[in-house]
Structure 1
Amino acid sequence: MPATFVVLSPNHASGQRKQTRGRSFKLSRVASPNRQKRIQVTRACDWCRVHRIKCDNNYPCQNCHSRQGHCSRRERSKTRTLPSAVREIEKLEERIRQLEEQLQNPTKPVNDGSLVPAFLPSEQRGSKLREGVYSAGVQCAQRRQWYGLLSNFYYISRLRSHLTIALQQPQSDCNMQPKSASQVFVSPTSSKSADSSLAETALSADLGESGSYLTPTQEDYFLSLFWESYHCTFQILDEGEFREHYRSLWETSSPTRKSSALVDIILAICMQYGLAFLPREDSNSEPKAMVDGNDATIAGRWYYHRSQMLLNSQLENPTIMTVQCQILTVKYLCNASYQNMAYSGLATAVRTAHLLGMHLEPPADMPREQRELRRRVWWTLYCMECKTCMKLDRPWSAPFSLITCQLPADDRQLALISGSNFASYGENLTWLTYTQQITKMMLAVRTVFVAFADKCGDVVASNSGRGIYTDPQTLEDCAIFLGSKMEVVRSWESQVPAGMKTKRKNDGVALSTDRTMLDIELYAPLWLQRQRLMLELLYHNLLMNLHRPFICFPSTLATENDSSTPLVSPSQSVFSNATPMTESHTRLCIEHAITITRIMHQVLTGSDILSGMHEAFHFQWNATVSLIGFILAFPLSPLIPEARENIKNAITVFETFGRHFAVGASAANVTWNLVAKADYLTERFHAQLASLELQSSNTPDLLHSYLGTLTVDNMNLAGQSLDFMELMNFPMSGTTDLGFSLDPFASSEQFFSGSINPDDAWVPNQS
């Protein structure tokens, strides 16, 4: 039977074979010598298949390797035969049988990791156990939020648990946190209560009337506040471009301007800032701690609401202005204490920035001022997410490994063309230096935070999920690890320009915890003074949070019949002997908290540099709960008198803020409440120690049996050394004057008798 063959010249190259295609001849079949059977290939790569040449099983194949091109083969192919397919089916059937047996046997736990699809790469799975806590006191289980081990909320939950055990009374959330707008209203634009049902809050926005918006003159006033306040720390706008944009909105015959999401959100945060300077209507009486619709923290909410409506229409085709609006939206929510909304808003902003490629290096053909503006916008967003994620100890939305955008520059030439009229200050300092230094600091602290969080995750995994507070040595290992990672933060501190640091009096060291007073430069511009103070406050706040997990709260395993067993233990003596690094981190945490309080007290009582800065209030509250926790955990520490003195200063700071917004007054009340409880427990503890001293001479083993009943955050203290005489010789005079004088031998049941709400006994009179 005749066959058809394609005739090719042996001298032709493979690229010239197209010329011979289609030429066919009728030839008789010619016998050819037997050739070796070719190796079976599952599927040729794309390049070999297109060019119809022989491929192989290697990756890359020989042809792609020779031409140094991309090969579409992902891995070495395996021959697919019927026996191999049968073996694969049998393996899967056996796996199904095992899983069915596990589901039928409830006593045998199901390994969740085995249910993960096998094709999911192992590095994408959660390999570390992360300890955390769900928010308490929420009636609806669907509303409970998760906070990680290193979060502020987790620390407060440990403080609450300790007080619940020590006072033998449940502690409510309302007496552990100041009353903010997020605890009163379901959203900044709603009058619905935060405790409303899900159905009631489905449509929760209250649309504003025309009277809720500003006149053109009022708009000009509040917009001018932006350049005096936020622009020096949020360097994401070109002032000249914005003014031109705002002017274009009025180029109509209409008495009102065109809508602009950017203008609206700037007006919203400037109203928050501006109204925080004004005294509240009830300032003639005691500051009220109840947030209402006129509170400064939610001022401008109608502009915020309109801005969000306009932003929603830009999400499909965003611009850099969209990202700028989203950053300022997050700032507005943080000021109003809507931290979960801010966390979600950050994720949206990061995705929008990714869509625009802002995490990548800007194109080289773009003007320099535009390239640097993109860098500043991206790194400002990234720093905001770092602060929020570390505060809540929740996952990041911006993976650092994908970022190629360089840090923003801060030279004089760039400062002159960046649209603002801020003058340079010093040789190596411009108004743009702040963003660069904040970014470097956040990257350094983030490096330590991520490493420490991973270490804690390893500890939790090795302890079968029991956490880092299982025993003192486990906590000490974590403390040693954290100490070994702090060098990167010290390196950042050493390179900060001198002009970015607030000087100290009496030869004090800037950015230190040496207790020296600030030497605020009298003739320095306001923008520079704010940059210096916010940089230092943020620095101390971040480091305080890193060291704070090592504050361990004492508790007991006392039985119900043994009501006289002490509920506070001298944990600082245990740590000083057995776990020196744990004690060192605890001391550093309190020193940073004291420094924050001293700075806030000096600045707020002597100037208005930080007036209206809501973030400064959050710094002070964070420092205050650290000081209160330290007093409860270490009642015999030499730092106790200084810690108590600074709590007095913190209350003064809160009362100063309380004259302008309600959450400040509420924070002062909560602080008084917690200090009163700390005083009660401290006096009871010292009375019990005095009783033990009288009995110790007759019963030498009494103290050891006493320690055997104590735990510190579930750590058994039996066998730990304790210098009893050293504890008893500690001077306590003048250290309990902040709270109420209580009978130290009275039990918590007697103390709370006759009180409808246990917490009412601790709350000072509010009006």
Structure 2
Amino acid sequence: MSSGAAPSAPSASAPVSRVAPGPWPRQKRNQVVRACDWCRRHRTKCDNSVPCSNCRIRGAQCSNNAVKATSLPHAYREIEQLRKKVQDLELELQEERGTTSSERHSLRLPSSVCSPPELSSRGSTLESGYGDAQDIWGGVHVGTARSQHKTWYGPSSLFYFLSRFAAFLNSDLLRAQSTDHMLDLNPPSMLLDEPAKTSDQSGPATRTTHSEYLNLSQEEYFLDLYWQSYHTGLLPILDEADFKAYYRSLWKRDGSQRAPSPLVDIVLALCVQYGVSKEMPARRQEPAGGVDATVAGNMYYRRCQRLLAYESESPTIATMQCHLLCCIYLCCGTFQNMADSACGQAVRVAYMLGLHLDPPGTAPLREREVRKRLWWALYMLDSKIGMKLGRPFLVYLSPSSPALPGDGFEVAMQSGSSFAPLGDDVTWLSFHLHQSQLFKATRDLHAAFYSRHVDVDSGKTIWDDVGALESQANFLKSHAAGLEQWRSEVPSALSTKRIGKSHAFATDGTILDIEPFAPLWIQRQRLLLELMYHNLCTNLYRPFISFTHNLPSSTAAGEAANQCALHAVELTLIIHHVLSSTTILAGWYEVFQWQWNAAMTLLGFVFANPRAQSSERARSAINRAVAVFDIFSQSFAVSASASRIVRELAAKAESVVQESQPSQSQTQTMADTSSLPLTDMPLQNGAFVGNDMTTRSTMDDFVNFGGLLQMACDVEQWVDLDMLWPPSGEVYMDPWLEGYESTISTT
């Protein structure tokens, strides 16, 4: 083929040539929102890792740790997610609004169970901010009755105040000090074990039998005490006429044996507890069934508990009354957690019986009023225990809750008791009405105070922030109108008059003018109503006793702390005057507990504010408190321990205040003020005066104070948990209980 010829076509078998592929497209580099400081300084590529890869390799801290990497696509995606969530919520809300009201009512729990209405208007509930140990208020775990198992107490409790008190002095030394040997408690078998009877000191103990209980005349003696004491001065939850008729029907004609009744047993337990402390000196109380009167009548309490077990499935009004009275008995015996549990049982029974609902208008007046009084008695007990122990409440009011009980002449005539009216439409039931209103006003203020949101840095309490404490003081002051209104509405017939121009419920320390010829029940009602008011106010204002900052009286917080001291002083002066000149409050356990609460509060106030406006009156009142404990020690032994503890704490207070006096370089005025004695009147046995502690080291003072402070906690709950259980292997059935059990099985 010549060179000019056209090229021949390629054969079919020859491979077809292909164009060589070009380079792969370059991947888009991830955009970095913000380079870290090290990469930017060294002009090195950074990435969105946290920390970035360069800093992670070299083991250095990356500045991107504090920056949240967010790009524009990330923001768009988050916006779309939020829009979708809003649409879903709007759709759910429309569906809920379309539901009929009857359907909502059938599916919804009663408002009295769901949330407290006193806080719903504020947009929060008590549970959301109250009872959280990590919240701004805090809390404390205390070993109940010196047990290794600890229970929680909230910010309004005396236990929490004592823990702040201890931390102020020296928390490490206080925790290290063991005090188990410092308080001689009663033996563990005191409350729920059957009392033992021995033929001789070396012989084995045998169980008491039915014959060890009181006979008919003895029971009637103690039962007569109930109507002048707990019935009129605490909770009018029994019909006196019906109860007396029911009680006589339980006895055989010859008076040899009484049929079992848990209601009669718990009333007897209360009456024996009160009667022994009122009538019998502490040194002679052992024949009454216990070493101390606080657990007298425990045989009847134990039998009541056994009988109540048979009524658990089908409770009645009498069951509800038993649980309320058991709560009172345990509270008087300083079994605080057991009283709390008994109150919880009463709450469940109340819901089972429908007591949380307003009784129908078709029911007889007598029945309606009994149900109202029971519900409001439960509300008061729940409020009292919740505020005292600093724990959430169990009972709440709702629009369907029963109205306040009546106290008119017609209601009083049908109550079963024949106490004379007091005039101006005031009857013996008026005390219960005004006491219920007092607890409602105080509890509303308490709930609002502790559930209010306060801005405090994380990990700190409110006492670390003066501004937050001042804000709370202003809030409490502006919302205290309910208490002032209650005080102005108390009728004069329920108020103890004062000598001079002063008025009831004042805190000016004027002397009481006790009506000499008034019935015992009305004298006690007047005093208990005012003492309860001062005790509740002391607890409300106590959070403003700050051991962290010195709060001048000119500030709202300082003024609130002074108010706390004044109410505690007034309570102490009233109790001292009444106990030293009358027998109206002799053996009344709750008054002793109020005095103990006031005494420890005053001691804390003196330590925190030695030069405050009310410090002089507080120091004088501590002396009176010791005298009160000395009087109460004639009724029950635990008061003698309280007297000794307050004396020794007062002596430690003198030592600590002297140690904390300002140096000579400060102003002479301040030095002279701080060196004033802790009291303006001498105290017996050397409290506040003439103590020899100034020669000891500061460490010894603090350690000794820690022991005394632990003893102070023991006084509030001075019994062992071991006494709640009978000895192992021993089972005892009361003869009456056996008959009661057989009666139930046959019916």
Q: Does 1:433 pair with 2:425? A: no
CA change 1:127–1:524 in 2 (3 A) is closer
Match in the other structure for 1:216: 216
* 1:10-49 equivalence runs, <5 A: none
Q: Secondary structure at the match of 1:608?
A: coil
Gaps spanning 5+ residues in structure 2: where? 1-92, 108-123, 196-205, 713-747
Contact persistence 1:268–1:303 (CA under 8 A): yes
- Whichever residue aligns with residue 748 of structure 1, its letter is T
| Cα distance change on mapping 1:675 and 1:61 into 2, 3 Å | closer
Q: Which has the higher contact order (CA 8 A, sep 6+)?
A: 2
- Residue 278 of structure 2 aligns to a residue whose secondary structure is coil
Alignment check: 8 A CA contact 1:212 1:302 kept: no
CA displacement at 1:471 relative to structure 2: 2.0
1:741-760 equivalences under 5 Å are: 741-742=691-692, 744=694, 746-749=696-699, 759=707
Closer/same/farther in 2, CA of residues 347 and 140 from structure 1, 3 Å limit = same
TM-aligned CA distance change 1:221 to 1:586, over 3 Å: same
1:163 to 169, 181, 194: 169
Matched, 1:575 2:523: no
Which of the residues 375, 378, 382 maps onto 1:378?
A: 375
Q: CA deviation at 1:421?
A: 1.2
CA distance in 2, matches of 1:625, 1:434: 29
Secondary structure in 2 matching 1:146: strand
User: 1:500 maps to what in 2?
Assistant: 494
Q: How does 1:118-197 map to 2 (within 5 A)?
A: 126=128, 129=132, 130=135, 131-136=137-142, 143-165=149-171, 170=176, 185=188, 188-190=191-193
User: 2:294 & 2:429 partners in 1: Cα distance?
Assistant: 28
Residues 479, 172 of structure 1: alpha-carbon distance in 2 compared, 3 angstrom cutoff: farther
**Matched position secondary structure for 2:313:** coil
- Does the 8 Å contact 2:282/2:292 carry over to 1? no
**Would the aligned equivalents of 1:575 and 1:583 in 2 still touch at CA under 8 Å?**
yes
In the alignment, does 2:619 pair up with 1:644?
yes
**Residue matched to 2:360:** 363
Aligned counterpart, 1:727: 670
In structure 1, C-alpha distance between the alignment counterparts of 2:459 and 2:243, rounded to whole Å: 52
Aligned AA (1:727):
M
Deviations 1:321-362 (A, max 9, x none): 111111110000011000100001101101101111111111
CA distances 1:256-304 after superposition (whole Å, capped 9, x unpaired): 0100001000000000111012343638xxx99xx99331100000000
Look up the match of 2:65: none
**Contact 1:148 1:154 survives alignment (8 Å):** yes
- Which whole-Å CA distance do the structure 2 matches of 1:279 and 1:124 have between them? 44
Cα shift at 1:464: 2.0
What is the CA deviation profile of residues 366-407 of structure 1, one whole-angstrom value per residue up to 9, with x for unaligned ones?
A: 210111111111101110110010001111111223652010
1:239 alignment counterpart: 240
The residue aligned with 1:422 is: 419
Q: Distance in 2 between matches of 1:336 and 1:609?
A: 20
Q: Which residue of 2 aligns with 1:324?
A: 321
**CA spacing shift, 1:583–1:671, aligned 2, 3 Å:** same
Distance 1:188 1:168 in 2: 31
**Matched residue SS, 1:609:** coil
The answer to whether structure 1 residue 490 and structure 2 residue 440 are counterparts is no
The counterpart of 1:393, out of the listed 387, 390, 405, is: 390
Q: Deviations over 1:190-234 (max 9, x none)?
A: 389xxxxxxxxxxxxx96433431011101111111112111022
Q: SS state of the match for residue 145, structure 1?
A: strand
CA shift for structure 1 position 494? 1.1
User: In 2, are the aligned partners of 1:621 and 1:667 still within 8 Å (CA)?
Assistant: yes
CA distance in 1, matches of 2:490, 2:224: 30
Contact 2:633 2:639 in 1 (8 A): yes
8 Å contact 1:175–1:670 — kept in the other structure? no
Q: Distance in 1 between matches of 2:596 and 2:96?
A: 59
Aligned residues with identical type, % of pairs = 37
Partner residue in 2 for 1:104: none
Distance between the aligned counterparts of 1:473 and 1:467, measured in 2?
Answer: 12
Q: CA–CA distance in 2 between the matches of 1:147 and 1:763?
A: 17
2:346 matched residue in structure 1: 349
Change (3 A) 1:172 1:648: farther
User: Aligned to 1:512, which of 506, 516, 526?
Assistant: 506
Secondary structure of 1:164's aligned partner: helix
Corresponding residue number in structure 2 for 1:77: none
Aligned partner (choices 685, 706, 718) of residue 660 of structure 2: 685
Give the match for residue 291 of structure 2: 294
Distance in 2 (alpha carbons) for counterparts of 1:649 and 1:124: 37
- Deviation of the 1:253 alpha carbon: 6.7
Computing the radius of gyration over CA atoms, which structure comes out larger, 1 or 2?
A: 2
CA contact (8 A) 2:179 2:711 kept: no
**2:173·2:702 contact (CA, 8 Å) conserved in 1?**
no
- Three-state SS of the structure 1 residue aligned to 2:139 is strand
Q: Find the aligned partners of 2:622 and 2:502 in 1 and give their Cα distance.
A: 23
**Match among 501, 509, 520 for residue 526 of structure 1:** 520
Contact residue 172 and residue 759 of structure 1 kept, 8 A: yes
Tell me how far apart the structure 2 counterparts of residues 477 and 236 of structure 1 sit (CA, whole Å). Answer: 41
1:96-153 alpha-carbon deviations (Å, 9 max, x no partner):
xxxxxxxxxxxxxxxxxxxxxxxxxx98984664443333457999721001111111
Equivalent in the alignment of 1:53: none
**Counterpart in 2 of 1:459?**
454
Give, in whole Å, the separation in 2 of the partners of 1:61 and 1:598. 59
The residue aligned with 2:570 is 595
Measure how far apart 1:575 and its partner are. Answer: 3.0
Which runs of no fewer than 5 residues in structure 1 stay unpaired?
1-56, 75-121, 193-205, 555-570, 697-723
Structure 2 CA distance for aligned equivalents of residues 300 and 750 of structure 1: 42
In structure 2, relative to structure 1, the CA distance for the partners of 1:509 and 1:180 (3 Å cut) is farther
Would you say the 8 A contact 1:271–1:300 is kept in 2? yes
CA apart distance, 1:670: 0.9
Amino acid at match of 1:513: T
Distance of aligned partners of 1:491 and 1:180 in 2 relative to their CA distance in 1, 3 Å threshold: farther
> Residue 732 and residue 379 in structure 1: after superposition, are their counterparts in 2 closer, same or farther (change >3 A)?
same
Query: For 1:597-636, what aligned pairs fall within 5 Å after superposition?
Result: 597-636=572-611
Superposed CA RMSD in Å reads 3.6
What TM-score comes out, normalization by structure 2 length?
Answer: 0.72
- Contact 2:520-2:584 within 8 A present in 1 as well: yes
Whose helix fraction is larger, Structure 1's or Structure 2's? 2
Q: Distance in 1 between matches of 2:104 and 2:417?
A: 52
Three-state SS of the structure 1 residue aligned to 2:153 is strand
Match of 1:268 in 2: 269
C-alpha deviation, 1:635, in angstroms: 1.5
Structure 2 Cα separation of the partners of residues 412 and 73 of structure 1? 40
Corresponding residue SS for 2:238:
coil
CA shift in 2, pair 1:614/1:763, >3 Å: closer
Q: Distance in 1 between matches of 2:503 and 2:106?
A: 61
Task: From the superposition, tell whether residues 414 and 729 of structure 1 become closer, same or farther in structure 2 (CA, over 3 Å).
Answer: same
TM-score normalised by L of structure 1: 0.70
CA distance in 2, matches of 1:124, 1:414: 35
Contact 2:127 2:392 in 1 (8 A): no
CA contact (8 A) 2:579 2:586 kept: yes
What is the CA–CA distance in structure 2 between the aligned matches of 1:506 and 1:525, rounded to whole Å? Answer: 23
Residues 219 and 268 of structure 2 are in contact (CA less than 8 Å); yes or no, is this contact kept in structure 1?
yes
Contact 1:61 1:71 in 2 (8 A): no
Q: Between Structure 1 and Structure 2, how many residues are aligned?
A: 582
Deviation string, structure 1 residues 152-175 (Cα, Å, up to 9, x no partner): 110111112223359778555669
